[in-house]
Amino acid sequence: MRNSGLSYNEIRSTIGVSKSTLSSWLKNIRLKPEYRKRLYTKQIEILSRGPKSQKERRIKEIEQIIKTAENEITHPISFEAFRFAGAALYWAEGSKGRMMEITNSDPDLILFIVRWIEKVFKISAKNLKARLNIYPQQSDLEIKKFWSEITNIPVENFGKSYVKPFSTGYRKNNLYYGTIRIEVPKSANMVHQVFGWTRGLLKDNSSKVLTVKKTWHHLIKTQRPVNLKIK
């Protein structure tokens, strides 16, 4: 195989021997000039696309990891798993105030939350409220229609949008659909209920967290920063 001009990697792919072993076996074989030219050209091609080929390989690896993890989720999802998934999302992303509110720009997350509210709390999307954060160059009505189609919240249930002022800064990520805030009217008790569920989920952690908080209690006595106006 070596006399036919094959590289060590090409030989390895056929017989499964390590590269170091092949090197010791074949070090005395001298390749014909045309074979040496072929292998040299191939090596140059590999080097020239080095970072790009590594990036492409990593992209494929990530795609495979995501696909494998996706297949680990079985459907239909049980009600308990669905309830806890929504509670965890709300705990991370939702408002901690007197009304259930959650703000995000991801249509998948927003649709999940709307369906979670409908299924867990029996509140139809038609009874929810919404508000947008958008940019001056965006169409307020079109974006409202987009989110209305995603969530089934009627356009007339959308309040006045907040239009962000122009900025000279450069945004790496464009929020083509703006940011939407879902509001559930008269939902103070629902917020407490969700945090009760999350407390139940975290019960095994609570004793350690409480112990550490007591040890480091002096941290909460740190004075708050004072905002100074510079003229």
Show pLDDT as tens, one digit a residue, over the chain (231 residues): 888 888 888 888 888 888 888 888 988 888 888 888 887 787 776 666 666 677 788 888 999 999 999 999 999 999 999 999 999 999 999 998 889 999 999 999 999 999 999 999 999 999 999 999 999 989 999 999 999 999 999 999 999 999 988 765 555 557 889 999 999 999 999 999 999 999 999 989 989 999 999 999 888 888 877 665 555
Q: Which residues on adjacent β-strands are paired with residue 132?
A: 180
Q: Which H or E run includes 129?
A: strand 129-134
Give the pLDDT confidence score for residue 223 in this predicted structure: 80
Q: Hey, where are the domains in the chain?
A: 8-70, 79-196
| pTM tops 0.75 | no
- Within a 13 Å sphere around the CA of 142, how many CA atoms are in the beta-carbon half? 6
Q: Which tokens sit at 222? A: 């740190």
Residues 176 and 40: their CA atoms lie apart, in Å, by 48
Q: Would you give the DSSP letter of residue 94?
A: B
Give the pLDDT confidence score for residue 172 in this predicted structure: 53
Q: Return the sign of the alpha-carbon dihedral for residues 20, 24, 25, 26.
A: positive
Q: What is the amino acid identity at position 21?
A: T
Give the pLDDT confidence score for residue 44 in this predicted structure: 73
Q: What phi and psi, each to the nearest 5 degrees, are found at residue 222?
A: -65, 135
Residues 71 and 56: their CA atoms lie apart, in Å, by 23
Is the separation of the CB atoms in 101 and 182 below 8 Å?
yes
Q: Which fold has domain 79-196?
A: 60s Ribosomal Protein L30; Chain: A; (3.30.1330)
Buried-state track 42-71, b at ≥16 Cβ within 10 A, e below 16: eeeeeeeeeeeeeeeeeeeeeeeeeeeeee
